[in-house]
Structure 1
Amino acid sequence: MTRLNLVLLLAVLFSALYLVRTQYESRRLYVELEKSAALSRQLESDKERLQVEKRAQATPLRVEQLSKERLQMRSATPAITQYVSYKNPAIAEGGVRE
């Protein structure tokens, strides 16, 4: 009888230690999951903020303004436009281009 009691006591102790270890691991994983979820929310917020900034920076008026100021570009007008035409008789007749 004492042997059976000793085996049962060891089984209860082993299962209690296993239960404590399992609960600890579960809590650790839950905390890690919450940290990952918080990081995900932060990244999503940053993504939305950057998309708003991108849309604000890419407006046609802003692009035109920056091209004039930084690149000294100007709008194309018919007075400064040059048209180039390429005349190749073989292409005009539907021939093979070499």
Structure 2
Amino acid sequence: MWSRITLVLLAAVMISGYYLVRSSYEARRLFTEVDRAQNEGRKLEADHQRLLAERHAQATNLRVEQVARERLKMRAVSPAITQTVELGGRAASAAAGGQP
């Protein structure tokens, strides 16, 4: 009779010990996973800040002007290259808001 109770208690202790070890292992695994995710988040935040700084540097007036000159072959406006177009006849009165 006592040996059955002893075996049942021994089995209960072994099972509870197994679950204790398993839950400790799972807690450590989850902690490691959270730590990795936090590190990845910090890395992504640093990359985001770097990209924002690069975007800001690319959008400066001097940079835009340089790209316009070099890639688009644009040049500054001067009276020598400015042309004016005058509307004549019906087009002039339509532009002025009059009846055609």
- Same structural fold, with TM-score higher than 0.5 when normalized by the shorter chain: yes
Aligned equivalents of 2:44 and 2:8: distance in 1? Answer: 53
TM-superposition CA deviations, 1:44-97 (whole Å, max 9, x none): 0011011111111110111011101111112345662546876686xx47xxxx
Aligned equivalents of 2:44 and 2:26: distance in 1? Answer: 27
| Matched residues, number | 91
Gaps of 5+ in 1: 94-98
Using structure 1 for the length normalisation, give the TM-score: 0.78
> 4+ residue stretches of structure 1 with deviation over 4 A?
81-89
Q: Identity rate of aligned residues, in percent?
A: 44
Map of 1:14 onto structure 2: 15
Gaps of 5+ in 2: none
**Residue 42, structure 1, aligned to residue 81, structure 2:** no
Instruction: Name which one, 1 or 2, has greater alpha-carbon Rg.
Output: 2
Over the aligned positions, Cα root-mean-square deviation in angstroms equals 2.3
